Amino acid sequence: MTQRATPPVSLLDQTPTQSREALRAWAKSRGLPSYRVSQLHRRLWTAPVGSWRDATELPAALRDQLESDFPLPRLRAETVQQSSDGTRKYLWRLDDGEALESVLIPSGKRLTLCISSQAGCALGCVFCATGRMGFRRNLAAWEIAGQVREVILANPAEKPTNVVFMGMGEPLLNWPAVDVALSILNHTEGFGIGARHITVSTVGIIPGMTALARRPEQFRLAISLHAAAPGQRLRLMPIQKKYPLEEVLEAARSFRKRVTFEYVLIAGKNDSDADADKLVKLARSLGAMVNLLPLHPGGAPGLAPSSGNRIRAFAERLRNQGVEAVVRRSRGLDIAAACGQLFVEMEKKKRLHVVLEGRAGSPDRTSSDG
């Protein structure tokens, strides 16, 4: 019986500490000088290359061997959309046909990349376009960190200063891969992004919150709240049934850094003065700040964003009661930048193309005898 060959190990799926050790053992087995390890390792994340063959400081034979033993997987940019406000949306296509999205958001000297942790999402929040996709699969660590890597490969000057896990999927339902990705993002031999500049957003997956709190780095936690009363939250977010709001807030108390509440304002659903007063009580209990986000138009059919006047009044009501509230303006309104929206739009176009092709290839029934 022929044994199936073991697939090459991806260094990009390991923490920087693990990948350095793997390269050290590999170099030693081939009698390479020790300085080669650092020379190779920096090409993973610190000064990344798309292919080992691009590392022209290395001998050609060594590059060929690295390509064979440690191929560097890539994300393929199927669609890139640039907004008039500078926001850029990426739809990455994966080898198995699945897709994920990232959004690059410039703001002064800050360049924030919003990344995905899953292809699709199983949680079904009513205001989220990704929820309409359903869950496809978890992303591997290299696919998560690779979103940052691809942006840098395209233009090193656009290396993100901040990373937020607010793209497709629930990061804490893919904790093993997210755990490794956090190390890659933060480690000095990875991308070297400070922990305080990396935010993990969750609907409140308590086991994952506990695991994140155990990490020594001070990563920031954002809780997707969107309603301050349990029944109201359940209507917007089915996960409320499994992880009740009271228990989520209790788990959040174990974080050493200030917690942020994410609150999408939806007209007539969660934007009344009474809603604001309930939110004040929750925010005060944790010393949390509140990010108020207008619902992205087109991201959730059947729901409408709160008006500008209502958003301002809601924010002012929070501030007047001692809660720090920031209104985040919608970015990328002209490029389908809501989470999951680009994927949904691209899939619609593909289906329409298939239908039109089918019609074009079918017999002209008006000229048939039947």
Catalytic sites, residue numbers: 101, 339
Partner residues linked to 305 by β-bridges: 266
Backbone angles phi, psi at 48, to 5 degrees: -65, 150
Which tokens go with 94?
Answer: 């994966």
Q: CA nearest 183: which of 9, 14, 11, 10? A: 14
Q: Whole-angstrom Cα distance, residue 174 to residue 118? A: 7
Q: CA nearest 150: which of 74, 56, 80? A: 74
Please check whether residue 101 is in contact with residue 78, taking contact to mean a CB–CB distance below 8 angstroms. no
Q: Whole-angstrom Cα distance, residue 230 to residue 81? A: 38
- Three-state SS sequence of 194-211: CHHHEEEEECCCHHHHHH
Coil, strand or helix at 172? helix
Please check whether residue 128 is in contact with residue 339, taking contact to mean a CB–CB distance below 8 angstroms. yes
Please check whether residue 153 is in contact with residue 50, taking contact to mean a CB–CB distance below 8 angstroms. yes
